[in-house]
């Protein structure tokens, strides 16, 4: 059987693959300190689960409109107005099977063969592959750690061409945990004002903020809102990763095109999940607040521990639940007589010999770094740091 040519440029998700490998070891009784999973380790709040149970008992188990039930889309509009000062109507909102699905729909509805999408590096591993699956070309703009991983406006200007169809922004960021300041967003806005590209704002980690106040580019540059699409969902803020509920809000024509894609692929997101999402948006914020406070404690623990390691430096992330330590001082050294040449090789050694699961920076467009999730217990963090100290001690 000969598969489609489009698959040749696509790589399996490295985060899912490494997480599966770590889980397989754990299922065999191996004690693995895992820092891979991109999901909160907290349970979904009880009131959200109860809403799903109530929906089941009420028989709310049939198809819904592809775009989502009207009360959920209205609640999303209310959330965007209250939290983000962005005004949308329900027919500008599409509910999908996770924010990842929303992004996939955007690229499928927007891109023609050879169209370009600007992606800031480091980036979430799925962005480039989703662009390529739609026939597009990822164009990477490098950012620097010393600038807080915020892009230089001039670098974006240089990347813009007549074929540029979109720019992707992700703040708080996966993998770096960086949060764009209003000043950084104003710089980005200045770079794209003379171009008509779509701006895709992936706000999935919006609620997981440790410093400052979240801002969307539409807040600092309202004139760009007509070509802004906001992507968000329930997964991270409400610990609902497995529920698969996300949404996009944007220009009516784009949302209509995305709905046509969804009409002919998945149709509606889960009816029960939509009721749970409605409860999440309308319910109390206490569980989210408590989760963020625990993540704050873990952030301090893991950042201080990593910065105590010889050859490692780690900036403190402003949001999300990832640290992105710079390990270039380790890559120049040897382990068991062989050089630790890449972040991928480093992650292999850590898992095979020290039972620590981390993500290499290379798949995120940042060789010389590791991505580590602190969505795990304090005990696991301390255990993992001890094993990392053992690894560093074994280097020569």
Look at residue 17 in the predicted model and tell me its pLDDT. Answer: 73
CATH number of the domain to which 52 belongs:
3.40.640.10
- pLDDT, residue 30, reads 87
Handedness of CA 228, 10, 269, 67 (dihedral sign): positive
**Beta pairing class for 322-323 and 370-373:** antiparallel
CB atoms within 10 A of CB 337: 6
Same structural domain for residues 191 and 336?
no
DSSP structure class, residue 2: P
Contact 371, 175 (CB under 8 A): yes
Domain match, 248 and 309 both = no
Does one domain contain both 39 and 50? no
Helix, coil or strand: residue 334: strand
**How far apart, in whole angstroms, are the C-alpha atoms of residue 250 and residue 255?**
6
| Helices 252-263, 99-110: crossing angle, 10 deg rounding | 100
Instruction: Look up the domain containing 307 and give its range.
Output: 5-43+287-393
Q: Are residues 267 and 294 both part of a single domain?
A: no
Residues 171 and 295 in one domain: no
> Is the pTM here over 0.85, yes or no?
yes
Closest CA to 375 of 3, 29, 40, 21: 40
Last residue of a domain, one of 259, 282, 305: 282
**C-alpha to C-alpha distance for 194 and 239, rounded to whole angstroms:** 39
Q: Which residues pair with 236 in a beta bridge?
A: none
Please name which of 23, 79, 22, 41 lies closest in space to residue 241, comparing C-alpha atoms: 41
What is the C-alpha separation between 258 and 94, in angstroms, rounded?
8
Among 240, 257, 282, residue at a domain's last position: 282
Per DSSP, the residues of 184-244 read HHHHHHHHHTTS--EEEEE-TTTT-BSSS----HHHH-GGGGGGEEEEEESTTTTT-GGG-
Task: Tell whether 233 and 338 lie within a shared domain.
Answer: no
Q: Are residues 165 and 310 in the same domain?
A: no
In this structure, what CATH number is given to the domain that contains residue 324? 3.90.1150.10
Residue 236 and residue 363 in one domain: no
Of all helices (H) and strands (E), which one includes residue 3? none
Contact 136, 128 (CB under 8 A): no
Cα gap 249→86, rounded to integer Å: 10
Domain total of the chain: 2
205 and 315 in a single domain? The answer is no
The rounded radius of gyration (Å) of the Cα atoms in the chain is 21
Q: Are 252 and 310 contained in the same domain?
A: no
Residue pair 300/317 in contact by the 8 Å Cβ criterion: no
Are 237 and 350 within one domain?
A: no
| Domain C-terminal end among 217, 249, 282 | 282
Query: What does the pLDDT read at residue 15?
Result: 66
86 and 225 fall within a common domain: yes
- pLDDT tens for the chain, 396 residues long, are 888 888 887 877 766 677 777 778 888 888 999 999 889 999 999 999 999 999 999 999 999 999 999 999 999 999 999 999 999 999 999 999 999 999 999 999 999 999 999 999 999 999 999 999 999 999 999 999 999 999 999 999 999 999 999 999 999 999 999 999 999 999 999 999 999 999 999 999 999 999 988 999 999 999 999 999 999 999 999 999 999 999 999 999 999 999 999 999 999 999 999 999 999 999 999 999 999 999 999 999 999 999 999 999 999 999 999 999 999 999 989 999 999 999 999 999 999 999 999 999 999 999 999 999 999 999 999 999 999 999 999 998
Within 10 A of 393 (CB to CB), how many other CB atoms are there? 9
């Amino acid at each position: 059987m000969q598969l489609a040519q489009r698959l040749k440029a696509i790589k399996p998700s490295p985060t899912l693959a490494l997480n599966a490998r770590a889980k397989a070891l754990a299922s065999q009784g191996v004690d693995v300190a895992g820092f891979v999973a991109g999901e909160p380790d907290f349970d979904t709040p009880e009131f959200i689960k109860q809403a799903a149970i109530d929906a089941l008992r009420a028989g709310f188990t049939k198809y819904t409109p592809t775009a989502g039930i009207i009360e959920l889309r209205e609640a999303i509009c209310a959330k965007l107005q209250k939290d983000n000062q962005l005004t949308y109507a329900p027919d500008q909102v599409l509910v999908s099977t996770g924010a990842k699905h929303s992004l996939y729909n955007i690229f499928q509805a927007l891109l023609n063969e050879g169209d370009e999408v600007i992606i800031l590096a480091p980036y979430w591993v799925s962005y480039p592959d989703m662009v390529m699956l739609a026939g597009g070309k990822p164009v990477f703009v490098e950012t620097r750690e010393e600038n807080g991983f915020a892009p230089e406006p001039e670098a974006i200007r240089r990347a813009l061409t007549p074929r540029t169809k979109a720019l992707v922004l992700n703040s708080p960021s996966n993998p770096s945990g960086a949060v764009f300041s209003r000043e950084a967003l104003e710089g980005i806005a200045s770079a794209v004002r003379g171009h008509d590209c779509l701006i895709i704002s992936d706000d999935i980690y919006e609620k997981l903020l440790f410093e400052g106040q979240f801002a969307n580019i539409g807040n600092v540059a309202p004139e760009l809102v007509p070509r802004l699409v906001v992507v968000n969902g329930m997964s991270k803020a409400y610990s609902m990763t497995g529920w698969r509920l996300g949404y996009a809000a944007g220009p009516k024509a784009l949302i209509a095109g995305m709905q046509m894609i969804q009409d002919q692929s998945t149709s509606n997101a889960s009816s029960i999940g939509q009721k749970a999402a409605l409860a999440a948006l309308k319910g109390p914020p206490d569980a989210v607040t408590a989760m963020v406070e625990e993540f704050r404690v873990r952030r301090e623990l893991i950042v201080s521990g990593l910065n105590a390691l010889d050859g490692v430096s780690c900036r403190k992330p402003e949001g999300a639940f990832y640290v992105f330590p710079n390990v270039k001082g380790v890559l120049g050294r040897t382990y068991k007589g062989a050089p630790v040449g890449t972040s991928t090789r480093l992650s292999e050694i850590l898992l095979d010999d020290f039972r620590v699961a981390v993500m290499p920076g290379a798949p995120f467009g940042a060789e010389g770094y590791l991505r580590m999730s602190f969505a795990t217990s304090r005990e696991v963090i301390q255990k993992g740091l001890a094993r990392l100290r053992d690894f560093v001690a074994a280097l020569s």
